[in-house]
């Protein structure tokens, strides 16, 4: 065991530990969860430390030898992805200081270990003075958080593209599959599953566009602002160089915020991004609600769709199969909506020159991105691609739906059409047959009006085609 000191006092740290006293105190102070800081934040933080060492060396405030070993330590950790020494819990007080110091301690100790390989005299590298030079938690932590969010965004956007593509394939496959429309869960005029699937695709394309348009806000970082955005203790050379260097190191298109004070104290950008994720969650849940309704039954429900059977649904009812994939999507959506409230409250609760609650903001956003990505993947693979429309059943519903009589209103008027609907319901005869038996319109026109193309308005009848019968009976 080695004895280390900080402003609070002394603690023993295991001899072989790369972390130090600051990390160990945080682990003891925040026993809320065993969940550690997200690996994307750790990766991003290591890239920041590497970029800072390069910028400080370029500025002449960090000698080449120390910079080289710091960079080597960062590279080794980034390459191995061995983050076992990052022991700080994800939920923590201190505005991310514990995470920053955990990184500083691990990089410093590993850098000294590397410098001592094959030598009796390792270089002394201090976690604060060297690894954290020209930096503060208050500019590095939000920068690392934004970088992590951007990295998690790519797979989410890719999966969302796959979902829109899968829905467009369904739209094409069932372009002419007619069905009864529903408003307020009551029968409405007919439509097609092609249009329904295309509408879902358009909805998710809108979510994708919102995400892409928001990327520029996440790419603006406050690195170089140090404690409160004024840049205290950072050279002009460092402040100008560090963000461009970090962009090269991370392969992200990062820019330094025009107002570093604003970017340091205000968290509205995270609330805005959270709202986009919530919007996606709402749309996913609505889509899956529709799937569960349309596939309900199958004997006594709507049964217009058949969802893939992926697992047994009951321990007591043999043969029962439940819509488990839409159900898990619903539950993830509920989770995301709840996390949005957490982010909202955390963003609102920041005071004066800093928001102390970014740890919970980043945790919630990164979990949301990850869970959305995974749940969309299972939605595509285990549900959407295997959806089948029950064509015969849907056609039968349209044929026997009195609401289809809406097509007659321009020819017979609202009141007479309503009378025909009531007669259809009493006699259990289709409206089409009731109209034919009443000899109110020529059979040829009736057949045209009740064709799928006209009922769904994909091929409207022009007045010239119906001749003198338009409005003649009103």
Which are the catalytic amino acids? Answer: 314
For residue 468, with 0-12 CB atoms within 10 Å meaning exposed, 13-18 middle and 19 or more buried, which class applies? exposed
Contact 367, 291 (CB under 8 A): no
What is the helix (H) or strand (E) element at residue 180, kind and residue range? strand 178-183
DSSP 428-440: T--HHHHHHHHT-
Strands, E assignment, 236-361: 255-256, 305-306
Q: Please, what sign has the CA dihedral across residues 158, 336, 23, 51?
A: positive
Place of tokens 């050379």: 237
Closest CA to 436 of 465, 405, 394: 405
Helix 193-218 × helix 137-173 angle, to 10°: 160
256 forms beta bridges with: 221
Cα separation, 155 vs 373, in Å, equals 7
Closest CA to 273 of 332, 343, 322: 343
Cα separation, 288 vs 284, in Å, equals 6
Cα separation, 474 vs 470, in Å, equals 9
Contacts of 37 (CB under 8 A, 6+ apart): 86, 88, 89, 90, 99, 102
Cα separation, 287 vs 197, in Å, equals 10
181 forms beta bridges with: 188
Hey, how many other C-beta atoms are within 10 angstroms of the C-beta on 345? 13
Tokens of 155: 């797979």
Contact 244, 54 (CB under 8 A): no
Contacts of 280 (CB under 8 A, 6+ apart): 160, 204, 207, 211, 336, 372
What is the helix (H) or strand (E) element at residue 422, kind and residue range? helix 414-427
CA distances from 303 to 322, 359, 447 (A): 13, 46, 27
Closest CA to 100 of 68, 142, 161: 142
Closest CA to 92 of 149, 143, 141: 141
């Amino acid at each position: 065991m080695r004895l280390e000191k900080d402003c609070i006092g002394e603690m023993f740290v295991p001899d072989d530990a790369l972390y130090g006293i600051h990390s160990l105190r945080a682990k003891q102070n925040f026993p809320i969860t065993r969940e550690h800081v997200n690996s994307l934040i750790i990766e991003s933080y290591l890239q920041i430390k590497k970029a800072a060492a390069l910028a400080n060396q370029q500025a002449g405030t960090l000698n080449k030898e120390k910079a080289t070993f710091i960079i080597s330590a960062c590279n080794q950790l980034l390459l191995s992805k061995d983050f076992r020494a990052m022991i700080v819990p994800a939920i923590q007080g201190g505005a991310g200081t514990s995470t920053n110091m955990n990184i500083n301690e691990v990089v410093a100790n590993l850098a000294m270990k590397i410098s001592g390989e094959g030598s009796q005299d390792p270089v002394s590298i201090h976690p604060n003075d060297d690894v954290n030079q020209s930096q503060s938690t208050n500019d590095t932590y939000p920068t690392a958080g934004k970088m992590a969010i951007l990295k998690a965004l790519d797979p989410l956007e890719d999966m969302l593209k796959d979902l829109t593509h899968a829905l467009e394939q369904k739209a094409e496959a069932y372009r002419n599959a007619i069905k009864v429309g529903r408003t307020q869960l009551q029968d409405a005029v007919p439509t097609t599953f092609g249009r329904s699937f295309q509408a879902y695709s358009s909805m998710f394309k809108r979510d994708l566009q919102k995400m892409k348009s928001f990327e520029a806000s996440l790419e603006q970082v406050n690195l170089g602002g140090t404690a409160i955005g004024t840049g205290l203790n950072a050279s002009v050379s460092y402040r100008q160089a560090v963000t461009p260097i970090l962009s090269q190191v991370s392969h992200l298109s990062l820019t330094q915020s025009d107002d570093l004070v604003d970017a340091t104290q205000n968290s509205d950008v995270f609330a805005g991004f959270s709202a986009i994720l919530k919007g996606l969650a709402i749309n996913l849940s609505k889509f899956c609600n529709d799937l569960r309704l349309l596939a309900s039954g199958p004997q006594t429900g709507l049964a217009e769709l058949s969802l893939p059977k992926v697992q047994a649904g009951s321990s007591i009812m043999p043969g029962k199969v439940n819509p488990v994939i839409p159900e898990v999507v619903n539950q993830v959506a509920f989770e995301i909506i709840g996390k949005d409230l957490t982010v909202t409250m955390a963003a609102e609760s920041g005071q004066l020159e800093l928001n102390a609650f970014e740890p919970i903001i980043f945790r919630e956003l990164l979990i949301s991105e990850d869970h959305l990505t995974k749940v969309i993947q299972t939605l595509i693979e285990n549900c959407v691609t295997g959806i089948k429309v029950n064509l015969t059943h849907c056609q039968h519903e349209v044929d026997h739906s009195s609401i289809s009589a809406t097509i007659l209103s321009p020819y017979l008027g609202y009141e007479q059409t309503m009378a025909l609907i009531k007669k259809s319901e009493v006699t259990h005869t289709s409206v089409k047959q009731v109209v034919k038996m009443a000899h109110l319109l020529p059979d040829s026109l009736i057949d045209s009006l009740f064709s799928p193309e006209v009922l769904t308005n994909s091929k409207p009848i022009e007045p010239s085609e119906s001749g003198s019968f338009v409005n003649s009976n009103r």
